[in-house]
A and B are shown apart, each in its own frame.
Chain A
Amino acid sequence: MKRLICLLLILSLAMLVLTVSYAQDTDPDTLWAADVNTDGVINILDLTLVASHFGETPTADQSPNPDVNGDGSVNILDLTLVASHFGKTVPPPVVFVRTPLFLRADPAANSQLDVNDAITVTFDKTPEDVTVSTGVAIVDDKIVTITGPFTAGPLALTITWSDGTQTQTLTYTVKQPVAFVGVDPTIDSELTVNDTITFTFDSPPDHVTVNVGDATIDGKIVTIQGPFTPGPLNLKITWNDGSLTFTYTVAEPDTDAPDITSGTVSNGAKDVDPKAINSNLRIEIEFSEAVSGNIALQTAAGVDIGWLGRVEGNKGILELVKGKELGNEITYVIAGKVEDAAGNSTDISITFTTASKTSGIPIEVTDATFDSVVLGSEVPIVLEYIKDG
């Protein structure tokens, strides 16, 4: 009963204060505090709530909180405050929603991109309604990934979010894709185990990898050095802007030394007509494969006669030097050494002896030596056509 009387007294007092201070301006925070039950109106319900907790010391986070003025206790001041705004409508609190902020881009703006690069843009919170002027944007929480391909040249990428209210423009330079120009040896050719394959691009490629061997990059040139495994070879080269596969056949290692297959003279030949050789101006030796090396015409004692020797392709050639013609009844040695591409070498030693000027032994001629031996002879010639030697 005492409590009810007290309440009515307070209510009367509050109504009195209300009439006095009704016209006072109030800030929203005070109105929200006076609307103790948060129903949007300051009325008797709020006064009742304060009165029902009168004398208490509520905690700051208590709800509803009858400590209207926030001084730590529910007292007459709180009742007065509610009473002074009695009947007022409390505006709903304004909920401020901040738009996400652009933080950074990777790669950073003003840097170079490759055509197929991706750009990641980081915000401080998840952006909504994201659109981009170029490429495709994928939003994953605070990260927006923009994928190409982008067109080579200058790129101005505009990102828009928050329903078009926020934009950020990032500028880049998109590099021209590096294009393949050629390869040596050509595709489908045969390689040796230790061959080198050379690729040429129109500009220096980045991030070059190969599935066989090691790639060495020197500007626009990429070389892949063997050894390669004998058999079919599928060589895939990948670089920043593409990949290509080339097929080759890697031959078994060559371990065969070059052979002498034929020649103007054969080893051990006797009665070789020196006139026929002199008139031909040369001696030739054929090998079983292409070789390099040297060759010389010597006496049996190893003295160089002075003919010009050279090795070309699969031939060894000795050219007559004027005044160094072959004589009769002399033993000559064709000496030298040749080597094939795999490094297999053969020593050359072909010994032959020229015929006596008047030996009386029939000389065998060929179509090639016929004119010099028969038609160019100083002595009469009896030519005998025979069959099988």
Chain B
Amino acid sequence: MSAPMVHAEKVHKSFGKVEVLKGIDLTVELGEVCCLLGPSGSGKSTFLRCINHLEKVDAGRLSVDGELVGYRQSGEKLYELKEKETSSKRAEIGMVFQRFNLFPHMTALGNIVEAPIRVKGLGKAEAAERARALLDRVGLSDKVDAYPAQLSGGQQQRVAIARALAMQPKLMLFDEPTSALDPELVGEVLDVMRGLAADGMTMLVVTHEMGFARDVGDTVVFMDGGVVVESGAPHDVINNPQQERTRAFLGKVL
């Protein structure tokens, strides 16, 4: 059996004196869709950002695809990764943000081809061809030349997903991808994510969409106060929570 895609052991992270992660244990296997649930401030987003090297882990072990995040181990010693090494690891992980973060000065196509051309050194024609295929896949083949400001929130988020996919990541991280959207636009983004899951993409999704977690998630992890309170199959965790805190949270959101 190969190494899990994401493996966290007692991961700690503090901002100043505030300890946000207090020992997270979590494993995501290849091809698995894992949904992170929990109240805001529980550390879900911070954990996701740690996986993508946007934050440094203070203690514990965090590895992606068998390799430590942010450090290189040689014998007993840990060495911090150089910027270049960090960048090349990030390039293998796709990330989708709550506020889309599309590049406003580039068209939809420009957003998607930027990293494949500049980071991976892909040819312009090939990158454009791939980008068009991806836009088609997220249902936006008619928005190739639109700037982000000309797109609705749902459309922007779908472009952002296409942008992340263009790097052919082995893992996709979603940080509350539908929280900034009008309710009627949530569905179109979730549909794209459903399609991705069906194609076997390994996904770690921070979400408040219980329906999505139940239908698409292979596992559901409920976090609160910087620790994992409960995890397991969606059916068990959502329909039959064992912990009082999980029950209280689900009682409010369902």
Q: Do A and B bind each other?
A: no
